[in-house]
Structure formats: C-alpha cells, structure tokens
Amino acid sequence: MEHQLSFEAELIDRIDWLIRLRWLAVAGVVLAVGLLALWFPTTLALGPLLGTTAIIGIYNLLFLCYLRTLRSGSQSVARLRRATSFAYVQIALDLVALAALIHFAGGVENLLAFFLVFHVIIASILLPRGSSYLVAALAVLLYESVIALEYTGLLPHYHLPMLRQELYQNLLYLFTASAVMMFMLFLVAYLATSIASRLRERDRELWESNQTCQIRSQELQDLNEQLRRIDGERTRFMVLVTHELRAPISTIYSALELALGGYAPPEKTREVLARAQNRATDLLDLIRDLLDLTKVREETDEQAQVVPIQMADVLREVVDFVRVEAEGKGLTLEVEIKPDLAPVRALPEQMKLVWTNLLSNAIKYSKSGGKIQVSLDQDARRVIGSVRDTGIGIPAEDLPRIFDEFYRAGNARDVTPHGTGIGLAVVRRIVDNWEGDIWAESKVGQGSTFTFVLPRADAGERA
C-alpha cells in the first residue's frame, strides 16, 4: 500500500512533466508553422494546423487545472486510479491531435509521424506494464486510418510542395511506410517496456530496502533508548545499594574499632559487639533481598518452561512458616482459600517470596492484638491474592512509591529503622514478570490491604 502511494506521487509528478512538455510542443508547432508559412504561404493548410494546435493548448490548460485538483486530494488508491486514467486520456488525445497534424501537414509524406514514438515511450514511463503496447496499437490504427482515408479520397490530401510526386497514391510506398511504422512502434514499445519494468523493479527493491532500513533504524533507536534506560537504572541501583550498604558497614566497623581498640569499657564491650551483630544481621538481610531482586530481574529459560502450580499449596506452606511469628506477637492470622482454584503459571519459589514478603510486612507493622486476614480467590480470568492487616497503615503521599526499590514510608522507619525497602520491589517485579498486577490500599492507623492478581493458567482454554 505504501509503495502504491509512493508510485502515485511519482505518477502525478510525471503527469506534470508531460503537461509542461506539451506546452513546448505547442510552441514548437506554432514556430514551425510560422516558418513554413513564410516559405510556402499558399500551399499548406495553415488554418487547420493552427486550429489543431490551439485545441491542444486548450485541452492542455484544462489538464493543468485538473492536475491541481488532483494534487490537492489526499493520498489514496482511488487517487492513484484517477491519476492513471488521467494519463491514459492525455496520451489518447495527444495521439488523435498528432494524427490530425500529420494529416494537415502532408500525411504519409511527412516525417512528423515519427513523433508517435515519443508517446509510446511516455506510456511506458507513466502507465502500468503493457500499456505501451496499447498505445502503440492506437498509434498504428490512427496512422493507418489517415493513410487509408487519404488514399481513398475520403480525406483531402495536403501535398508537401518540396516533393515532386504525391506519394500518398503509391501503394508500395504506403505499404512500406505502414510496415516500418508498425514495426518501429511495437519495437519501441517492447524496448521501453522492458527498460521501464527493470527500472520499476529496481525502484521497488530500493523502496523495500529503504523501508527495511527505516525499520532497522527505528529498532536500533528503541534498543539504544532501552540500553540508556537500563544503564540509568543500573547506575541508580548502584548508587542506592552503595548508600544502603554504607550505614551498616560503618556501624559494624565503628563497633569493632571500639571493642578491639580498647576504647569501650569492659562492661560495654558486649553491648558494642551486640550492636555490630545486629547491624551485620541487617546487612545479611539486605544482601539476601538484593539477591532476590537480582534473581527475579533475570529472564531465564526456566520461566519460559514453567508448569502451572496451585497457589493454595504455596500459601499454606508460607502460612505454616509465619504463623508462629504472628502468634508470638499476639496477632490473629486468618486464612480463607476458595475451593477448586485454577492453577497459575509461575515458579513456586517466587510465589513463596511474594507471600512471605507481604505476610512479614503485615506482621512487622501490626501491633499486638491485631488481625491479619489472608484470602485467595479467583474470577473468570485471574487468581486473586490478598493480605489485610490492622497495622500502622501507609500515608497517602507514600502509597505511589511503596513498590520502589529502597523506598520506605516515614512511619515504617519509625517502627523498624533498619529495613531494606526492597521486599515490595521484589514482589512487584515477580508479579509483573508473570503478567499480573499488584496494588495497595491503606489508611494511616487503620491498616493496609495488598492485593495481587495473576492470570489463570486455564484462561485461554476457557476463552
């Protein structure tokens, strides 16, 4: 389609060139008639020649007006058809006008007939393949008609004064002239069509190559942009990791320096080492979360070849693991799993990370006596998991960023100053990897609800 529209624009430009060429032809005929009028003022049909030339000028002016209308239209296949038909009409009228000029300028005795060749060539340039043969046939028909009508006397013959004998009555000459003209026109049609076809094929190949280059160029630009984005994320990630690692390492180093350098009193040494141990634990938690985040970022063949799993089995395993911690903090843990849940396509270890992070956060930020409600449900296309707590809640201004790496709400820092801020980022990355979605709803002091959805493994079969 795009190539057709490109050919349409090119065809309209060539039609414009044909119209301008016709103005030169009109000027040339007028000049030639003027010169012949000086040399042979009484023997040529000057009036009919000038009249035919005037008609050519008039319809060329009409063609120019129509071309402007054609240019103003939008590109379409319909406009291409109109432009092609317009080219056919112009060439046909030119052939008729040229036949009239040949007749009034001496008929078969005039070499003006060889100008028919130009229209065959023009047809091979402007019109679809094979059209030049039709134009050649029309040219031969008109030329033969002029010869036949003059020979039979149905049309008057205008004899050229420079010739001693009237050749239009010589049958041998007429047969030879007709045969030569027919052979020449069809030979030119064949050669012009062959050349034009090769040029159009080359033009099509160049156009396709150009389109391919543009597509490749756009792909390279997209890849370039993606690389820049990845590089920016990597740089940002490294800066954040460096920042998060610096604080616990500095604390551990200071504590060890105090203990080993003898700067801390003996009764305080154990306390200083305990502080270093706590920060080392925080550091190990951070490293573990970073490893989890890095692992879920990587796309592996394992993800492509995964088999469907039952989310209920994963949830029960995680709940059994965290229930002791919840009960030890005086929290009520309620679990509701709808029966006959559809499987989902995911890795069991990653789903454990999702449930573990959500439940650990709910336990961490809920006060004794609170309640945590876990539910697993489904609809026609998705499996829906939810964790609701009665904890400290999340301020409205922090909700849009809680899934960002290393981001923690201000009230969360008050409860546990040394959290990593990576857990929810890991959860979001896992859910995104499996074409799911996750969101949070919360009110400060009333608790939070985290909900995530994953496509059912049988959604395609049900559809």
Last residue of a domain, one of 219, 252, 273: 219
**87 in a domain, yes or no?**
yes
Give the span between the Cα atoms of 445 and 451, in whole angstroms.
Answer: 19
CB crowding 43-77: b at 16 or more within 10 Å, else e = ebbbeebbebbeebbebbeebeebbeebeeeeeee
- Tokens 């052979």: give the residue: 183
**Mean pLDDT across the stretch 8-34?**
84
Residue with tokens 């990791």: 241
- Count up the domains in the chain and report the number: 2
Q: What is the pLDDT of residue 179?
A: 92
Percent of residues in the chain assigned helix, strand, coil, to nearest 5: 70, 10, 20
Nearest 5 degrees, angle CA 74-CA 71-CA 136? Answer: 115
Determine, yes or no, domain membership for 313: yes
DSSP character string of 52-89: HHHHHHHHHHHHHHHHHHHHHSPP-HHHHHHHHHHHHH
- Predicted confidence at residue 282, as pLDDT, reads 65
List the one residue out of 179, 182, 185, 155 whose CA is nearest residue 168. Answer: 155
Please report whether residue 437 resides in a domain.
yes
| pTM over 0.85, yes/no | no
The mean pLDDT of 341-363, rounded to a whole number, is: 90
Question: Does the structure show a pLDDT above 50 at 4?
Answer: no
What mean pLDDT is predicted for residues 395-408?
A: 82
- Check whether residue 202 and residue 322 sit in a common domain: no
Whole-number Å distance between alpha carbons of 183 and 178: 9
Domain-located, residue 145: yes
Domain final position from 175, 201, 219? 219
pLDDT at 455: 93
Assess whether 204 and 315 both reside in one domain: no
pLDDT over 60 (residue 373): yes
Q: Residue 447: left (phi > 0), alpha (psi -120 to 50), or beta?
A: left
Percent of the chain topping pLDDT 70: 82
Whose CA is closest to 416, among 282, 247, 325, 255?
Answer: 282
Question: Which of 191-205, 343-357, 359-373 bottoms out in mean pLDDT, i.e. has the lowest?
Answer: 191-205
Q: What does pLDDT average to over the chain?
A: 82
As a whole number, mean pLDDT of residues 246-274 equals 74
Model confidence at 119, pLDDT cuts 50, 70, 90, reads confident
**47 occurs within a structural domain:** yes
Confidence of residue 236 (pLDDT cuts 50, 70, 90): low
pLDDT greater than 50 at residue 224: yes
The verdict on 192 and 322 lying in the same domain is no
Residue 11 banded pLDDT, cuts 50, 70, 90: confident
Examine the domain organization and report whether 321 and 189 are in the same domain: no
286 closest CA partner among 114, 420, 90, 119: 420
Q: Residue 22 contacts by C-beta under 8 Å, 6 or more apart in sequence?
A: 56, 60, 63, 94
Cα 67 to Cα 13, 53, 86: the distances in Å are 10, 21, 9
Residue 244 domain-assigned (yes or no) = no
Residue 455 lies in a domain: yes
Q: Which residue has the tokens 């800066």?
A: 239
Which residue, of 219, 241, 258, is where some domain finishes? Answer: 219
Please tell me the number of Cα atoms within 13 Å of 428 on its side-chain side.
13
pLDDT score, position 463: 45
Query: For the residues of 386-450, what is the DSSP string, one character each?
Result: EEEE-SS---TTTGGGTTSTT---HHHHHH-TT--S-HHHHHHHHHHHTT-EEEEEEETTTEEEE
Tokens in use for 401?
């960023």
Q: What pLDDT does 114 receive? A: 83
DSSP assigned state of 127: S
Q: What are phi and psi of 344, to 5 degrees?
A: -125, 155
Residue with tokens 């009960």, as numbered in its chain:
327
- 123-147 residue pLDDT tens: 888 888 788 899 999 999 999 999 9
Domain limits for position 83 = 2-219
pLDDT bucket at 423, cuts 50 / 70 / 90: confident
pLDDT band at residue 5, thresholds of 50, 70 and 90?
very low
Burial tier of 316 (Cβ tally within 10 Å: 0-12, 13-18, 19+): middle
pLDDT of 43-98, one tens digit each? 667 888 889 999 999 999 999 999 888 887 666 677 778 888 888 999 999 999 99
Please indicate, yes or no, whether residues 309 and 455 belong to a single structural domain of this protein: yes
> Which string of DSSP letters, residue by residue, matches 258-299?
HHHTT-S-HHHHHHHHHHHHHHHHHHHHHHHHHHHHHHHHS-
Which CATH number covers residue 447? 3.30.565.10
Residue 290 resides in a domain = no
Do 329 and 447 share a structural domain? yes
Query: What's the mean pLDDT in 210-230?
Result: 83
Q: Above 70 in pLDDT, residue 342? A: yes
Query: Both 126 and 7 in a single domain?
Result: yes
What totals of helices (H) and strands (E) does the chain contain, helices first?
13, 7
